[in-house]
Structure 1
């Protein structure tokens, strides 16, 4: 099928945590014979911070962040068998969801793909006239990268015909064990951009943990932290491109994951970092959230912390031998159950079933 996918960016992970998710899924769908065109705006300096060049498995259309350019790419939705509008494009989101679904052919499959369901739902639930909310009943599918039963119930309660989580996963060709790199040496490494609904949890799980262990080395990667007061044992390195994520994850004793407030509250929302760390065979310490057991087993494949003191105790007591065993167990579990090949197979089946339903609808009409 010809898939027109309107998202934030396939080429850059700069202020764009969904990049790895898009790449893993769309690459697998292309391998299954689908023709993917990804439309991304030239916005937020992402084109200046590309992690990859346009891949052979997708056509990437970068358009100017202007209304006229947006309207031009919206019109191209009419060529596709599957039209996807993702959340968080960042420019013209309302116009895009209404425009591409209006431009789509009657026999096309219409999908809203939410990569931040808690935030989206918080925005549209109190707003009956929101563009996305008005569009929901006309869509064939809402797909989300997490959220589980609470998100499914919320979307279907707002009029979505069907909501299905397609969780984050691992692409073993891009995230895998590599030799350690002195640039990323540390006892606990943490990679995250500074966002308002994560900052308090970062203070608790990372900054307080570092304060508890002044003799241990903490490494922080990501944008926006330059003016945040921190203990002297935290070293900041700014944006880390995806090509360096493997080394970032393998060059330390353990890697930390901290969910944003909304993700932690909803649960069932494993971050991309969880799968990247596991794919590299890193020992992961994560904050606690409902649904974690669907992906990793506490104490054997992942270490779980309820606060900064727990994180500090994990780091203090962790030996290199145990860290290695946990990392290897996590990698085996994720490779067996949570790869993008598995997620791509799920989506491929969904698309084929929806195509049959749309055809039947056309015959009946």
Structure 2
């Protein structure tokens, strides 16, 4: 297939989780023989934080404006077998309208932020998607599965809402050697709704265990955050550094955004990346988590400071390693980028044939 993807970013992982997902997916599609063109709006905040070129596959082009996009890439969109528009694309409503009016092949909306998107639509916030556009996409590809998919079809009129979860790249994420440097770490951009959970599950644990070693990596944290003295801060961590970061932890923490907790069935890329490294994950609780990992066996669930400290100080080392190994085996069997590429292929081909995916 000839595939065109219009996404938030593939060139910069600064302050977003989209880039790593797109890179892994595009690479696997290219490996399977598809021609993939990724179109990205050239914006100053990503231009100032580009990751090293050559860390992603396919063809990538930057466009300066909506007019520039229309003038330079109309023929590519018109001849494509599949055109995908991602969430949070600048001027996404206008981009989507242009794609739906131009493309001759299958069109899809890829929502890497489904619960956030649905909450925005309820508020009348049509930043990158408008409700009337949903029926015009033959596929609604969602980072969230479960009951939310039925809601997208019933309430928004999608012909086919299907899960296309985030994944990990097993060529980039794997076990490391050496002694862990930190007892617990967290990787994530600041979010006001995640911060109270981070405080409860990690920062309060750090305050309650001064001998413990903790680390938080990610940008945009406000100056008012009070970091305990045993919590190290890393402002930004490029994807090539993620594996070394995860494997330097005894445990890693996953904290989910409030909208995604409410929707359930919304795994974050941190879950799969850390698990692929064989590092046991301590996660907040949300509906559907047990469809990706078995709690207590492949993932550890914490509701409060006491539970977090219990894992850190009381779980035997042999069981800690076993949890990480079982999670890694689960990821390699079900949650790699190669799995997602094959899934996308099947959705696109069935949509093109006129059959419901």
Same fold (TM over 0.5): yes
Q: Which residue of 2 aligns with 1:97?
A: 96
Match of 1:19, SS state, is: helix
Whether contact under 8 Å (1:112, 1:142) holds in the other structure is: yes
1:258–1:56 distance in 2 versus 1, CA, 3 Å: closer
Alignment counterpart, residue 210 of structure 2, candidates 202, 211, 214: 214
Match of 1:259, SS state, is: coil
Provide Cα deviations, 1:3-31, integer angstroms capped at 9, x if missing partner.
11000111221112022211222221222
Provide Cα deviations, 1:139-187, integer angstroms capped at 9, x if missing partner.
11100122422243234421111100111222211111123488xx211
In the alignment, is residue 352 of structure 1 matched against residue 346 of structure 2? no
1:149–1:58 distance in 2 versus 1, CA, 3 Å: same
Q: What RMSD, in angstroms, separates the aligned Cα atoms of the two structures? A: 2.2
Q: Which residue of 2 aligns with 1:162?
A: 160
CA distance in 2, matches of 1:203, 1:56: 35
Q: Which residue of 2 aligns with 1:15?
A: 15
Match of 2:354, SS state, is: helix
Provide Cα deviations, 1:285-307, integer angstroms capped at 9, x if missing partner.
11111111111111111111012
Trace 1:51-70 onto structure 2 (pairs within 5 A). 51-54=51-54, 57-64=57-64, 66-70=65-69
How far did 1:353 drift? 1.2
CA distance in 1, matches of 2:220, 2:327: 30
Match of 1:196, SS state, is: coil
CA distance in 2, matches of 1:248, 1:114: 28
TM-score (norm 2): 0.92
CA distance in 1, matches of 2:50, 2:242: 14
How far did 1:79 drift? 3.0
Q: Which residue of 2 aligns with 1:150?
A: 148
Match of 1:215, SS state, is: coil
Q: Which residue of 1 aligns with 2:251?
A: 254
5+ residue gaps, structure 2: none
CA distance in 2, matches of 1:319, 1:226: 36
Whether contact under 8 Å (2:145, 2:162) holds in the other structure is: no
CA distance in 1, matches of 2:126, 2:195: 31
Q: Which residue of 1 aligns with 2:276?
A: 279
CA distance in 2, matches of 1:27, 1:151: 27
1:151–1:213 distance in 2 versus 1, CA, 3 Å: farther
Q: Which moved more, 1:189-198 or 1:267-276?
A: 189-198
CA distance in 2, matches of 1:181, 1:50: 31
How far did 1:57 drift? 3.4
Provide Cα deviations, 1:63-91, integer angstroms capped at 9, x if missing partner.
22x343344356342232211110012x2
CA distance in 2, matches of 1:83, 1:246: 32
Whether contact under 8 Å (1:156, 1:163) holds in the other structure is: no
How far did 1:32 drift? 1.8
Q: Which residue of 2 aligns with 1:225?
A: 221
How far did 1:252 drift? 1.4
CA distance in 2, matches of 1:132, 1:52: 34
CA distance in 1, matches of 2:103, 2:155: 25
Q: Which residue of 2 aligns with 1:111?
A: 108
Whether contact under 8 Å (2:264, 2:287) holds in the other structure is: yes
Q: Which residue of 2 aligns with 1:363?
A: none
Match of 1:99, SS state, is: helix
1:56–1:265 distance in 2 versus 1, CA, 3 Å: closer
Whether contact under 8 Å (1:118, 1:147) holds in the other structure is: no
CA distance in 2, matches of 1:56, 1:320: 37
1:255–1:56 distance in 2 versus 1, CA, 3 Å: closer
Match of 1:134, SS state, is: helix
